[in-house]
A and B are shown apart, each in its own frame.
Chain A
Amino acid sequence: MIDRDLPATDDELHAYVDGELPPDRRKTVEAWLATHPDDAARVAAWGAHAELIRVRYGGAARSPVPARLDLARLARAERKWTWMAAAAVVAAFLVGGASGWFGRGALVSGPPPAATSVTAEALDAHKLYVAEVRHPIEVPAEASHLVPWLSRRVGSTLRAPDLATFGLKLMGGRLLPGHSGKPAAMFMYESASGERYTLYCARSAAPETALHYNVAGQVAAVYWGDGDVGFVVSGPADRERLIKIAQAAYEQLDRRTTRGNS
């Protein structure tokens, strides 16, 4: 039974445009529209706007898919990545002390969202300051207040790991605006040949996570989360070396060992 006196609700008008109404209600709405020109005009406008959207963006689905979106190619790259990470797991176990680093299924599930944004911020800061000739850092390593100051501002006890085994010397650090303006810290290291690496530390909602490697052109980053802090080691895109450096930093910064094997 169709009740012609019952007004069509706005929800029904939308459902009508989108073909979500059952046939009997459809008839009711059509009857309503026939006698209510204002609603009929709105419904017509929604339909016209939908058509504009389809015309505007339809071409994107018809243009040839670029090579970088080739699924077989992406799958090959993934396999390589997984193999590389697996090799690093073995290395971590051989070195010892880093067990569980790659655990918790991180390789299959991908990095958590917060990790992605912290990594993006770290890479931005890295690219900007590594290129600086005169003022790459704000406070030099020699200043005794460097680490306490950054720890206080970030709101977590930080340390600048010793990366001398990689020929990297701590230059100093700086304070940065991190996610939504919250303070973040960056330590910068340099090798004799002028290669620069940074360690970025920011309070992050990301849960504790395993290592994630992320490459962005010439530079790459390794992210991990520990407690409420996200760490990112960035440097030239040499995976093997960057992962080793990140691993060394991770071991020195590991809260669990710092807290005395809780």
Chain B
Amino acid sequence: MGGFRQDVEAAIPALRRYARALTRDGDVADDLVQDTLVRALRSERLFLGGDVRSWLYTILTNLNRNRLRSLSRRPALMPMGDNDAADMAGPEAGGRDIERALATLVDDQRTALLLVVLEGLSYREVAEVQGVPIGTVMSRLARARAQVKAFLDGERPVLRRVK
């Protein structure tokens, strides 16, 4: 039991990072992490071993999907301003552009990309988190990368000009 709590505790910073990238909003991200932790604590007795970290990513991914579903009845708005703490800003222009590029992705593609690139999960682990075959993970990843590249190569100057 002690091991379980320790593993959950150790995963919190990474969960915050993942949630932050998924939601692009610090407060919403921490709400998501809090829900994930509560869910994990509640299911502690149901956890039959295995990788705690993957399991937490799975919970968070599912909670985020539910969140997006409940938001879907509202019109989709592209975040234009930044709801950021200064410490997360990174190099200004590049950081905002990648954020916008991620915002254009379909949820499943964004999730796959972030789990691989940001969280360092293997394709197999991502397949487990998303509950799909590895081939599906790879095609999501490929589409996500193509879309991010197209956005950063092409659309950014157009946006700048409009501004």
Task: Sort A-B residue pairs by CB-CB distance and give the 9 closest, nearest first.
Answer: A61-B17, A60-B20, A117-B70, A61-B13, A52-B98, A59-B88, A60-B17, A50-B117, A57-B21
| Structural contact, A71 and B87, CB atoms closer than 8 A | no
**Of the candidates B69, B94, B149, which one forms a contact with A55 in the assembled complex, judged by CB atoms under 8 Å apart?**
B94
Chain B 8-39 residues near chain A, CB threshold 8 A: 8-9, 12-14, 16-17, 19-21, 26, 29-30, 33-34, 37-39
Complexed CA–CA distance, A45 and B88 (Å): 23
| Structural contact, B152 and A49, CB atoms closer than 8 A | yes
CB contact under 8 A between A68 and B34, given known A18-B116, A58-B17, A60-B88: yes
For A59, the chain B residues whose CB sits under 8 A away are: 87-90
Confirm or deny: B104 has a beta carbon within 8 angstroms of a beta carbon on chain A. Answer: no
For B85, the chain A residues whose CB sits under 8 A away are: 63
| Structural contact, B95 and A52, CB atoms closer than 8 A | yes
Closest chain B residue to A107, Cβ basis: B42
Q: Write the nearest CB–CB distance from B156 to chain A, whole angstroms.
A: 12
CB contact under 8 A between A116 and B88, given known A49-B145, A57-B118, A68-B34: no
| Structural contact, A42 and B117, CB atoms closer than 8 A | no
What's the interface size class on B, roughly?
Answer: 35 or more
For B14, the chain A residues whose CB sits under 8 A away are: 61
Q: Write the nearest CB–CB distance from B59 to chain A, whole angstroms.
A: 9
**Of the candidates B12, B34, B72, B101, which one forms a contact with A180 in the assembled complex, judged by CB atoms under 8 Å apart?**
B72
For B38, the chain A residues whose CB sits under 8 A away are: 74, 77-78, 110
Complexed CA–CA distance, A179 and B71 (Å): 10
| Structural contact, A56 and B66, CB atoms closer than 8 A | no
Confirm or deny: A217 has a beta carbon within 8 angstroms of a beta carbon on chain B. Answer: no
Closest chain A residue to B118, Cβ basis: A53
**Of the candidates A62, A65, A78, A120, which one forms a contact with B41 in the assembled complex, judged by CB atoms under 8 Å apart?**
A78
Binary interface encoding of chain A residues 181-221 relative to chain B, with 1 for a CB under 8 A from any of its CBs, else 0: 10000000000000000000000000000000000000000
Complexed CA–CA distance, A71 and B41 (Å): 9
Complexed CA–CA distance, A45 and B65 (Å): 28
| Structural contact, B141 and A14, CB atoms closer than 8 A | yes
Q: Write the nearest CB–CB distance from B25 to chain A, whole angstroms.
A: 11
**Of the candidates A56, A62, A71, A109, which one forms a contact with B37 in the assembled complex, judged by CB atoms under 8 Å apart?**
A71
Q: Write the nearest CB–CB distance from A63 to chain B, whole angstroms.
A: 6
Identify whether the interface residues of B are mostly helix, strand, loop, or mixed.
helix
| Structural contact, A181 and B73, CB atoms closer than 8 A | yes
Q: Write the nearest CB–CB distance from A240 to chain B, whole angstroms.
A: 21
Sample of 12 A–B contacts (CB below 8 Å): A14-B138, A52-B97, A53-B114, A55-B95, A56-B88, A59-B90, A61-B14, A65-B13, A71-B41, A75-B5, A108-B43, A108-B45
Confirm or deny: A142 has a beta carbon within 8 angstroms of a beta carbon on chain B. Answer: no
Pick from B29, B89, B117, B142 the residue with the most CB of A within 10 Å.
B117
Chain B 94-151 residues near chain A, CB threshold 8 A: 94-95, 97-99, 101-102, 113-114, 116-118, 122-123, 138, 141-142, 145, 148-149
Complexed CA–CA distance, A78 and B39 (Å): 10
Confirm or deny: B162 has a beta carbon within 8 angstroms of a beta carbon on chain A. Answer: no
For A58, the chain B residues whose CB sits under 8 A away are: 17, 90
| Structural contact, B142 and A14, CB atoms closer than 8 A | yes
Pick from B42, B62, B97, B138 the residue with the most CB of A within 10 Å.
B42
Q: Write the nearest CB–CB distance from A102 to chain B, whole angstroms.
A: 14
Complexed CA–CA distance, A179 and B73 (Å): 7
Confirm or deny: B46 has a beta carbon within 8 angstroms of a beta carbon on chain A. Answer: yes
For A69, the chain B residues whose CB sits under 8 A away are: 12, 16, 30, 33-34, 37
